[in-house]
Chains A and B, each alone.
Chain A
Amino acid sequence: MAIATETSNSQGTPAGAAPLIRIEDLKVQYLSPRGPVRAVDGVTFDIRPGEVMGLAGESGCGKSTVAQAILRILQPPAVITNGRVLFDGNDILDMSDDQLNEFRWRDVSMVFQSAMNSLNPVMTIGDQITDAIQAHQRMPGRKALERAEELLRIVGIEAARIDSYPHQLSGGMRQRAVIAIALALNPPLMIMDEPTTALDVVVQKEIMSTISRLKQELGFSILFITHDLSLLVEISDRIAIMYAGQIVELANARELFEQPLHPYTNGLMSSFPPLTGDRVKLSGIPGSPPDLVHPPAGCRFAARCPRRFEPCGSEPLFAEAKPGHRVACHLYPESRTPQAQEAIREH
């Protein structure tokens, strides 16, 4: 997918509101024996101050890879091959190790998918909060502990739990503790990578409402990553839909739910369970995502797309089909390259 030439504020950024962070044409590959896996292949979006940006897509589409690239915590065999991640005008991908360590957690913190695995099993919750604080601020141990207790209270854990080890907490409490750690430095942006996926439904609801409350009170931005579009209904301001390493649609949350443009978004919506009533069998989207070592030429969703037609063998542009609503699909004239237009004319 090619990046459409950017007209001013083409993503609907309100005039004057500079984005908090901007990811530009990000490409990440995992080097594998079969060849490079193009897990993220040209992703562009921004997040505004105080905004909740949802990032949704089937599992394996590259969401976590985007998140980890933003903090530059990708492990080998991952390599970032292209792009910029601009925060406060600085490109994170250009930072030295020292600059990077300063930037991490102070400017962007992250809640990982599994609270079970993201807490160090041999350290108390308190120590795991205070070490984050003390890595960034000169603060005496006592004050750091007080701050840790305050953070625990904010996320709904008794302060007395400060000396508990992760295994002494329930799943929900552990995820709250992780959120408390993420809040430690009051960062303007928090990335949440499937923060409730490992939890049962009741706990999931509690955590979601805690996140909403904290966001209201503290006003940070969130990049909320999930494979479950239904979670984004209430919380997000804008939503980006990702498929096979690329963003295929990006719009205001309400508009996306009411008038999804991309056939893949449509498919995702029909595959999530109704919020009320019985759990019906999900229709889902037939087929499976393409091999990211040899992604198909043209639209990557074409093979599974119910509305596939002639131009889909060429790559659609990610373009604004409606004000503030971008999509990469040949159903919309804005996405068509001259090549695609020709393919349509021929038929």
Chain B
Amino acid sequence: MNFILRRLGFYALAAWVSITLNFFLPRMMPGDPGDAVMARMQGRVQPETIDAMRKAYGLSDDPLWQQYFDYLGNLMRGEFGIAISAFPTPVTDIIRTSFFWTLLLGLTATIVAFLIGNLLGIIGAWRRGGLVDSVMPPLLIFVGSFPYFWLALLALFFMGFEWGWFPLRHAYSSNISPSWSLEFVGSVAYHLVLPAASLVVVAIGGWVLGMRNTMISTLSEDYVMMAEAKGLPQRRVMFNYAARNALLPNLTAFGMQLGFILGGALLTEVVFSYPGLGYQLLGAVRNLDYPLMQGIFLIITFSVLGANLVMDLLYVRLDPRVRGA
């Protein structure tokens, strides 16, 4: 209980710090970001609208503390303001759709990498010095030594552009409207392959090596030796005895990975023009769209904090020893 309270306290503090930072950052930019923004809007909208917008964005001439409390109040009501680059769409609308795409991409890539990586690690450790074990680690190190950005571009260039196996951009084909139809879901899956695969290729190495090492130490446990002495089929010894135990520490790492999903795929989204949070963030930066930037920053921080909190709570459930601490 004590442990949970302390963790909750920590997360509350972290949340407050990030909210406050988020308030000050645009205000610390050189020049007046507000003016810069408004300058871009000049001539496109009425001056009265601009004044209203300034007010709405909290870029008023009020004293700083008042701006701060206005900002907090807006956040409480779930108002992130209006996106400048997509006026007059509310920031929350943009975040909601891009949040979904980021989640889809991140979850797919993380889960696939986790499954394949652990399976390869299990097999590598089981047949130590065998084919998988001798080919995988050097290959993974080789792949891992290239900058991700470069790998992703390479994949996009050859498989997307040169050979035309996969689409070049976006999350679904623009001539299908979103619905639960087979056609649409298929299109989403098709668009997902390349960006997700690029993430899997770089993430998989960690899982393979991690699993291989825990698995090797698990294989020397007495219970694995006893399982073998029992004359059980190899598969059963490998999965039910060795791998199931070796997987436990990896599950924790998996949970932590989930927390980073939202912030993690930024480069991927940019390279593959995948309309997630990262892609939107790039657009927001380009267009000096401060409300959108702030909204995305906040959503990313809160997701990481939230995922970590969930992991902490889960850990308390999984490991009785933590409860007393």
Q: Complex formed: what's the CA distance from A120 to B224 in Å?
A: 8
Q: Is A117 touching B222 in the complex (CB atoms < 8 A)? A: yes
A118 adjacent to chain B (CB < 8 Å) = yes
Complex CA–CA separation, A75 to B236 (angstroms): 18
Closest A residue by C-beta to B240: A123
B236 to chain A, nearest CB (A): 7
Indicate whether A118 sits within 8 Å of B222 (C-beta atoms), given known contacts A76-B128, A123-B240, A131-B236. yes
Tell me the count of chain A residues lying within 8 A, CB to CB, of chain B.
30
Query: Which of these, B128, B226, B233, B241, contacts A112 with CB under 8 Å?
Result: B226
Contact B231–A136 (Cβ < 8 Å) = yes
Indicate whether A104 reaches chain B with its CB closer than 8 angstroms: yes
Asked whether B223 lies within 8 Å of A73 as measured between CB atoms, the reply is no
Task: Give the interface size class of chain B.
Answer: 20 to 34
Known: A121-B245, A131-B236. A101 touches B231 (CB 8 A): yes
B220 contacts A101, C-beta separation under 8 Å: no
What string of 1s and 0s marks CB contacts (under 8 Å) between A67-79 and chain B? 0100101011000
Per-residue contact bits, chain A 256-284, to B (CB 8 Å; 1 contact, 0 not): 00000000000000000000000000000
Report if B113 contacts A (CB, 8 A): no
CB of A255 within 8 Å of the partner chain: no
**How far, in whole Å, are A132 and B228 apart by their CA atoms in the complex?**
10
Interface residues of B in 214-240 (CB under 8 A from A): 219-223, 225-233, 236, 240
Q: How far is the CA of A275 from the CA of B227 in the complex (A)?
A: 36
Q: Is the CB of B229 within 8 A of A109?
A: yes
Contact A131 B232 (CB under 8 A): yes
Instruction: Given the known inter-chain contacts A118-B223, A120-B241, A122-B244, please indicate yes or no for A73 contacting B229, CB distance below 8 A.
Output: yes
Tell me whether B225 and A105 are in contact (CB under 8 A). no
Min CB distance, A28 to chain B, in Å? 15
Out of B219, B222, B223, B231, which one reaches A105, CB within 8 Å? B231
* 12 further interface pairs, Cβ-Cβ under 8 Å (given A100-B231, A118-B223, A132-B232): A73-B225, A101-B233, A103-B231, A105-B229, A105-B231, A109-B229, A109-B230, A112-B226, A120-B227, A123-B240, A123-B241, A135-B236
Enumerate the 10 nearest inter-chain pairs by beta-carbon distance, A residue then B residue, closest first: A104-B231, A117-B222, A118-B222, A101-B231, A132-B230, A120-B223, A105-B231, A118-B226, A105-B230, A135-B232
B binding-site residues for A, Cβ under 8 Å:
128, 219-223, 225-233, 236, 240-241, 244-245, 248
A-B contacts, 5 listed (Cβ < 8 Å): A71-B229, A100-B231, A106-B231, A110-B229, A117-B221
